[in-house]
Amino acid sequence: MANLDVVKLRKELQRFGQEHLLQFWDELSEDHQNELYNELSALDMEEVQEYFKKTVVEMSHAGEKLDDRMQPLTESQCGSIAKSTDQDLAHYENLSLEEISKGKVGILLLAGGQGTRLGTSYPKGMYNVGLPSEKTLFQLQSERILSLQRLAEKKTGRSGKITWYIMTSASTVKPTSQFFENNDYFGLEAENVVVFQQGTLPCFTFEGKMILGEKYKLSIAPDGNGGLYRALRNEGILKDMKKKGIKFIQLYCVDNILVKVGDPLFMGYCLSKGAECANKVVPKGFPTEAVGITCKVDGHYQVVEYSEITQKSAEKRNRDGSLVYGAANICIHFFTFDFIERVVMFNERSLQHHVAKKKIPYVDSAGVLVKPDKPNGIKMEKFVFDVFRFAKNFVVWECLRDEEFAPLKNAEGASDFTPTHCRNSLLALHQKWLRIAGAKLINEAGEEARQMGSP
């Protein structure tokens, strides 16, 4: 029977030009045969091949500039914390706290990354940047959710819970789950912290052949943060959201130490506008800053990478001197549940694939593992913001960079985004808040301390 199954599998692979994946079959132990058989059988070959074809098309357009196809966002769909009145901000906050108190809000965290560039092998959320409290990113973010729940209860008298959905990768799922368990979920209820795993995709050669990383195993890679939408379906998260009656979702990345998790101002602005999808942005620091910007391309909303526009467009200014294309993406988004459901059920397969050309170790025809010294294949990724193009009612909310954006990317010694950079950003913000609240900060000499500048 097993042989017949292998015959069937071989035929299926031949149909897609991937029969080479069984070239070492007869040499494999029974366990390794089972492993390879199960891995290949679980693949949706049609879907994976379709992804590769789209990636080839994308490769052929790589390096093209989008200037002629771009349009800036209209003023009416751009809110800003700096331009809002205190009355506006109070209104936005109240709208959000109302929904939180009814248990209608979910938070999606992208936490698949390991701290490789930081010199660690554990999940980035477990990193401690050296604050006096020694709190990790996960703990800081957990406590912000607890605060939000308390604020909503204080405002409305209702005790609603926020469900926190944490997307991990194959390498971070176990340590992440264990970390929360060991720390009693930092005061959150265990059933409201849902850890799930993003999917993977096979790596391909430039000619379209899937790569064997070992004789009995494909070379696979995570499917990018846009793999979220596939994972929401495959891991039962969408069903869970529906069952819990979640109507509004905020998404962010784990590495931003200043993130206002579930920000009630951002969400309240989106609710006031009836938006189904939104992006929180910061103003670009300077025209050629290497950040993605939010705009329209061919009439659809999109984040355009800095490499996709010319310097002329990057430097274009409005009458007030602000940059026409200045809404820098910081990976904090808002979605209605209805929008996410629509994307997952109907649009996910048509999402654009992006190419990462990589040096991918492979097993050659002689069965020898080769570590190439130049890119020999591609990893296929989707980006989380590529769903913007499916939005009919889309807005952006501009926040203050020194209050909301300081990502942890690099080890000490780099020019920016280091643990010290993140620590000082948070300490400077806390000092600012204390002073606004009327506190006087005293240094060791008993004199009034100078305000720390945010890096």
Tens digits of residue pLDDT in 264-279: 999 999 999 999 999 9
Q: Flag whether pLDDT at 155 surpasses 60.
A: yes
Q: Are strands 248-253 and 105-110 parallel, antiparallel or unpaired?
A: parallel
Furthest-apart CA atoms within the chain: distance in Å: 83
Q: What letters, b where the CB count within 10 A reaches 16 and e where it falls short, cover 375-411?
A: ebbbbbbbbbbbbbbbbeebbbbbbebbbbbbbbbee
Of residues 348 and 2, more confidently modeled:
348
H or E element, residue 80: strand 78-80
Q: Are strands 369-370 and 354-358 parallel, antiparallel or unpaired?
A: unpaired
Q: What percent of the chain is modeled with pLDDT above 70?
A: 99
Q: Which of 173, 280, 186, 148 is nearest to 231 (CA)?
A: 173
Q: How confident is the model at residue 190, as a pLDDT?
A: 98
Q: How confident is the model at residue 4, as a pLDDT?
A: 55
Are 332 and 250 in contact by the 8 Å Cβ rule? The answer is yes
Structure tokens at 163: 């469900």
Q: How confident is the model at residue 55, as a pLDDT?
A: 87
Q: Are strands 204-205 and 200-202 parallel, antiparallel or unpaired?
A: unpaired
Strands in 229-368 per DSSP E: 248-253, 277-283, 293-297, 300-304, 327-336, 354-358, 362-363
Q: Residues 152-170: what's their mean pLDDT? A: 97
Q: Residues 215-224: what's their mean pLDDT? A: 93
Q: Residues 136-151: what's their mean pLDDT? A: 98
- DSSP class of residue 111 equals -
Q: Which of 80-89, 107-116, 258-267 has the lowest mean pLDDT?
A: 107-116
H or E element, residue 200: strand 200-202
Q: Which of 412, 303, 417, 284 is nearest to 352 (CA)?
A: 303
Q: What angle do CA 370, 374, 380 make, to 5 degrees?
A: 90
This prediction's pTM = 0.93
Q: How many CB atoms lie within 10 A of CB 332?
A: 24
Q: Give CA–CA dist 231/228, Å, rounded.
A: 5
Angle between helices 45-60 and 2-15 (to 10 degrees): 20
Q: Flag whether pLDDT at 30 surpasses 60.
A: yes
Are 228 and 384 in contact by the 8 Å Cβ rule? The answer is yes
Angle between helices 173-182 and 137-156 (to 10 degrees): 60
Q: Flag whether pLDDT at 419 surpasses 90.
A: yes
Residues found in the chain? 455
Q: Flag whether pLDDT at 256 surpasses 90.
A: yes
Tens digits of residue pLDDT in 367-398: 999 999 999 999 998 999 999 999 999 999 99
Residue recorded with tokens 């040499």? 27
Spell out the long-range contacts of 355-358 with Cβ–Cβ below 8 A and sequence spacing 24 or more.
Answer: 355/55, 355/58, 355/59, 355/62, 355/379, 355/380, 355/381, 356/380, 356/381, 358/203, 358/221
List residues bridging with 71 in a β-sheet. 296
| C-alpha distance from residue 418 to each of 95, 259, 428 (Å) | 36, 16, 15
Q: Flag whether pLDDT at 2 surpasses 80.
A: no
Structure tokens at 319: 């009458």
Q: Which of 334, 320, 335 is nearest to 283 (CA)?
A: 320
Tens digits of residue pLDDT in 326-341: 999 999 999 999 999 9
**What band does 422 get if pLDDT is binned at 50, 70 and 90?**
very high
Q: What letters, b where the CB count within 10 A reaches 16 and e where it falls short, cover 163-193?
A: bbbbbbbebbbebbbebbeeeebbebeeebb
Q: How confident is the model at residue 3, as a pLDDT?
A: 55
Q: Give CA–CA dist 355/235, Å, rounded.
A: 25
Q: Residues 205-216: what's their mean pLDDT? A: 96
Q: Which of 102, 172, 184, 106 is nearest to 139 (CA)?
A: 184
| C-alpha distance from residue 161 to each of 53, 145, 152 (Å) | 43, 9, 10
- DSSP class of residue 271 equals H
Residue type present at position 84: S
**What band does 1 get if pLDDT is binned at 50, 70 and 90?**
very low
Q: Which of 247, 387, 372, 365 is nearest to 303 (CA)?
A: 387
Are 335 and 277 in contact by the 8 Å Cβ rule? The answer is yes
Residue recorded with tokens 């849902």? 194
Q: Residues 300-315: what's their mean pLDDT? A: 93
**What band does 435 get if pLDDT is binned at 50, 70 and 90?**
very high
Structure tokens at 228: 């979220």
Q: Residues 29-58: what's their mean pLDDT? A: 92
